[in-house]
Structure 1
Amino acid sequence: MNILKKYQLATILFLSCAAGANAQSGSMADKASLPENGAVNKDWVPSRRPDGAYDKVAHVSKALPWQPLREDDVLWKKRVWREIDVRQKQNMPFIYPGDENTGGGSFIEILIDAIKRGKIQAYSPFDERFTTPFTKDQIMDVLVGKPDTFYEDDIETGERVMRISRTEFDPNTITKYRIKEDVIFDRNLGRKVTRIIGLAPLLDKKSSSGDFIGNTPFFWLYYQDIRDLLAQYEVFNPDNDVARMTWDDYFEGRFFASYIYKVSNPFDFRFKDYNMNDMDILNEGQRVSEEMMNREHDMWVY
């Protein structure tokens, strides 16, 4: 009996190890395309020598939790949608190519790398309410592109052969980010509070002739789910390489430039749905921003 029990135990251990090895090989296959050095860009290679004139320590940050807001303390609230144009000078950190402190990639590459590694959950491009998860395969279809079949003459044989090509994702096609946020006046704090609800990168769409035809959301992210991730990467500071903030500090401190393109309304219309041109949209967004600021002042009791 002792020999039989030892044999059964050895068999169980062997099967467990085999199953674990298979699971590990599967997970390794899924992550084969991800950089092994922890960078968000596969082309980023860390230095083999201390790259700097002074000793550095690892910067490990964590997002500070928001102060809870009670419904009874909310006197006024407005849902606002904004767009961030990365081509504006104040928003240049979004397209900075990256270094050892910023993750070795641009902001969109940080988000995509976290989604591919399973750190955060993305949602459907047209789902601002976060009800439909956006799978990794769906994202890869956009990143890698669908296969395009074409025929060409082989140089050596001269025969007509079929080729298959894919269009690789270009981070430069992300020129805007969309933000959904709530602007609230909290009587307990005695001031206006702005909380970001969701964030979506916008893809540039071009016609077959290469002409720009508009932007479309890539995916939506629930902002509270990504705050700890954003706290792990620093934002480039052109004035001082030491005085850098995290991406969470950057968003919470409102250091980006943006414009309002939509506010909550009965018809869910954007400003451009009212037949406004680009200049009118900017002016209307500025008017709404000033109206909310005046509303905050009116809430004070002297």
Structure 2
Amino acid sequence: MKRIICISFFGIMAAMVIAPSAQSQTVLDGAWIKEHNKTKKVVQYPFIREADVMWSKRIWQDIDLREKMNLPLYYPMQESNGMKSLFDVIRDALLIEGSITAYSTGVTGQEDDFRTPLLVSDVKYILEKPDTTSTEDPDTGEMIEVIQVVKITGDQITRYRIKEDWFFDKQRSERYIRIIGIAPQKERIGNDGELTGAYETLFWLYFPECRYVFANWDSFNRFNDAERRSFDDLFQKRMFSSTIVKESNVYDRKLDDVYTGLDRLLKSEEIKEKLFIAEHDLWSY
């Protein structure tokens, strides 16, 4: 009798322990478990010797997320089906996981050489900046100052700037493009509350470090849901549209400093053509 009572007691206790965990489980949203990118390892770059680099050029480009080809970097606005926008991945890696480091753009907002790392508190201040506004007190009718936190959300990040090295390796007889840094940019808002068309760079990220985070998050594939590409795949395979805004030059000028409107776009295309010719001339047919 005592044995039956003991067995019943332990059975009841086990049921009490198992029941909450069973309630917390979620059903599988799909026909299979999607774990490929979650456990994916980064494919390392081949080692490059300085003596093997015959030709190189540093290029800065802008990725406009409003272009159709770049939409997988912009959507979804809210996490869905194991996918997040690129900015949400970056923000969580900076503020929650601490797996990547942000670097300051300097006093002028033009520094991009990763000299000044930012603390988590500094990044949080950039992304969740307090703002003071004046509002009318409903009881007294007087104007009072109210401090509210203005958070930068993924829908406000509509452009990324990337810094790249284009070079030719004579050891492998191949031209490489290495992304060195990536920076989210937000369009400035004027005093009238309207967008000004000018962008500010929030901070710079060292891309080789970001690859370990980007490789574990899916980006949308408009052609095949079964073939999930990670954000790292998207960048490594150059599956984005971009516009050249600067090439290394003796004056350290951007194209915006010299050209405007259509002339700037034509100059950007001219640089692209020059890069193509530089690679083409290295071969004989």
TM-score (norm: length of structure 1): 0.78
Contact 2:130–2:147 (CA under 8 A) maintained in structure 1: no
**How big is the alpha-carbon RMSD for the aligned residues of Structure 1 and Structure 2?**
1.9
CA distance in 1, matches of 2:146, 2:203: 31
CA distance in 2, matches of 1:287, 1:147: 43
CA distance in 1, matches of 2:274, 2:132: 51
**Residue pairs, 1:108-257, within 5 angstroms:** 108-116=87-95, 117-125=97-105, 126=109, 127-154=111-138, 157=139, 160=142, 163-213=146-196, 214-257=198-241
CA distance in 1, matches of 2:225, 2:234: 15
CA distance in 1, matches of 2:153, 2:195: 15
Report how far residue 264 of structure 1 moved.
Answer: 0.3
CA distance in 2, matches of 1:165, 1:206: 17
**160-169 vs 209-218, greater mean Cα deviation:** 160-169
Q: Are 1:71 and 2:50 counterparts?
A: yes
CA distance in 1, matches of 2:34, 2:63: 33
Q: Are 1:298 and 2:281 counterparts?
A: yes
**Residue pairs, 1:22-101, within 5 angstroms:** 48-52=26-30, 54-59=31-36, 60-97=39-76, 98-101=79-82
Aligned pair in 2 of structure 1 residues 158, 273: CA closer, same or farther (>3 Å)? closer
SS in 1 for 2:165: strand
SS in 2 for 1:166: strand
Q: 1 or 2 for the larger relative contact order (CA 8 Å, sep ≥6)?
A: 2
**204-213 vs 114-123, greater mean Cα deviation:** 204-213
> Between Structure 1 and Structure 2, which shows a larger proportion of strand residues?
2
Count of aligned pairs between the two proteins: 251
Contact 1:190–1:300 (CA under 8 A) maintained in structure 2: no
Contact 1:152–1:163 (CA under 8 A) maintained in structure 2: no
Q: Which residue of 2 aligns with 1:30?
A: none
TM-score (norm: length of structure 2): 0.83
Deviation string 1:146-201 (CA, Å, 9 cap, x unpaired) is: 141434233xx556565432222232221110000000011112121111110001
Give the one of 225, 247, 251 matched to 1:263: 247
* Counterpart code for 1:56: I
Aligned pair in 2 of structure 1 residues 240, 298: CA closer, same or farther (>3 Å)? same
* Counterpart code for 1:204: E
Aligned pair in 2 of structure 1 residues 78, 202: CA closer, same or farther (>3 Å)? same
Q: Which residue of 1 aligns with 2:9?
A: none
CA distance in 1, matches of 2:269, 2:256: 15
CA distance in 2, matches of 1:297, 1:112: 40
Report how far residue 234 of structure 1 moved.
Answer: 1.0
* Counterpart code for 1:169: I
Contact 2:93–2:100 (CA under 8 A) maintained in structure 1: yes
Report how far residue 47 of structure 1 moved.
Answer: 9.0
* Counterpart code for 2:195: F
SS in 2 for 1:108: helix
CA distance in 1, matches of 2:194, 2:146: 26
